[in-house]
Amino acid sequence: MDYIFVLVCVFAAIYGLCIGSFLNVVIYRLPLSMSLAKPSSHCPKCKHPIAWYDNIPVLSYLLLGGKCRNCGVHIPFRYTAVEIANGIMWLLCALIFWQQSIVTAVSSAFACSVLLSIFFIDLENMIIPDVLNLFLAICGVISIFGNDGVIWYSRLIGGAVGLAFFGLFKLGSLIILKKDGLGGGDVLLMGAAGLLLGWERLLLAVLFASVVGSVILIIIAYKTKDKDKPFPFAPFLCAGVTISLLFGNTIINWYTNLILGI
């Protein structure tokens, strides 16, 4: 057994939980244009500062019963869900990429964190901060130079395809439907995702987001009886990009072998 690799995976999971705690700050403050550094973490209800021992990822939530120690107000489970999700994704990045390329593993882990932040920010506020799209693009560029096995022009094509396809979709909805069917942040998101994934895995991400997103949005529109109500699409895109980043090569190879075997 490779004990160093085991330690790396344990460290990735723990550090991912800690980064997930910071992502909650990003998700809450970035849409409000608040500083990410000041003030320190505090209860959103009573504004009482949260002590370090009450800010341990997951563990503090369980020990406090999901409540603020000072005022007793319920703390949404979403905060803990973000920490757990980020810890799992960092662990998966270590398991999948570490022995292939350390740079790819680290850049992929940070990309997952950015995608998780965009997921919840767009879900709650229907906006995608440009700085997060920029960070995602940087992760994509770093992963290109950090792995000798990466076909760099596939990544560039992916970035161009992401921008062009979703840009044309946005323009077409304005011309044909006379309304904005896609936000500018979504277009930039898929351009950055193309740099991260390459055009092959980008297509897989778009396919997943389109199918799952369409089904869920149709169900929501049917239940609410409001077909004109805008819905955020970036959460589906982020889910598709994350799945393609982690498992895209495996899925594509499986499908290719399936087709060739017929």
Distance from C-alpha of 171 to C-alpha of 165, rounded to nearest angstrom: 10
Q: Are residues 132 and 193 in the same domain?
A: yes
Distance from C-alpha of 93 to C-alpha of 88, rounded to nearest angstrom: 9
pLDDT tens, position by position, 32-80: 888 888 877 877 778 778 877 778 888 888 888 888 887 878 888 899 9
DSSP state of 48: P
Q: Is 2 left (phi over 0), alpha (psi -120 to 50) or beta?
A: beta
Q: Are residues 146 and 89 in the same domain?
A: no
Q: Tell me, what's the pLDDT at 262?
A: 54
Q: Are residues 25 and 95 in the same domain?
A: yes
Distance of CA 68 to the CA centre of its chain: 28
Q: Is residue 235 part of a domain?
A: yes
Structure tokens at 68: 């603020």
Q: How many residues does the chain have?
A: 262
Q: Is residue 55 part of a domain?
A: yes
Residue with tokens 């094509």: 157
Kindly list the distances between the CA atom of residue 221 and the CA atoms of 90, 152, 224, 225, 229, in Å, as whole numbers in the listed order: 34, 41, 5, 6, 8
8 has pLDDT over 80? yes
Q: Is residue 108 part of a domain?
A: no
Provide the domain count of the chain. Answer: 2
Do residues 236 and 209 make contact, with C-beta atoms less than 8 angstroms apart? Answer: yes
Domain of residue 39, residue span:
1-99
pLDDT tens, position by position, 99-125: 888 999 999 999 999 999 999 999 999
